[in-house]
Amino acid sequence: MSEVLARWNQLPALEAAQEILPCCGSVAWARAMSARRPILDEATLLAGSDEIWNHLQTQDWMEAFSKHPRIGERKAPQAASPLSASWSTQEQKDVAAANADVLSTLAKANSEYEQKFNRVFIVCATGKSSSEMLDTLYHRLQNDDATELQAAAEEQRKITNIRLQKWLSA
């Protein structure tokens, strides 16, 4: 068992939920993860996270989505924890290097997405270029609301898994 998990397993439930919250952003997810302790290894942690995430209510997904900055923006929302904001910066590092025209196009596409779906565009940005994310955004703008909600939830699941792995290695 990792040192992080061993320590986390010993924390009081609310403290454990608070510690893991930046990995996802949903309080319901964090509390459910805390309730699953003890968790003995990374595979169990990730499988449990996926199971919990896939059974949350839409409002819990929306809470997690609200903790993300727009793709191409450097400032995280006020609701994001400092750790979550730091991870977002790392995840979007390839976008940060984009030229002003690409950033402007991303801003316009983000706005169009938010007008259509009433939420921030969520994509697992790790390892993706700004043009890949822009292509994904344009593609997903063609979705209906239900399809897009599922696509966003799947992207958030991927982000959460990456962040859980970062948390474990901290």
Residues with active-site annotation: 68
| Euclidean distance between CA atoms 19 and 13, whole angstroms | 10
Phi, psi of 34 (to 5 degrees): -60, -40
Residue whose tokens read 């995840």: 91
| Euclidean distance between CA atoms 77 and 114, whole angstroms | 15
On the CB side of 2, CA atoms within 13 Å amount to 16
Contact 71, 92 (CB under 8 A): yes
Quick count: other Cβ atoms within 10 Å of Cβ 114? 13
Q: At 158, which helix (H) or strand (E)?
A: helix 145-169
Residue whose tokens read 């919990």: 52
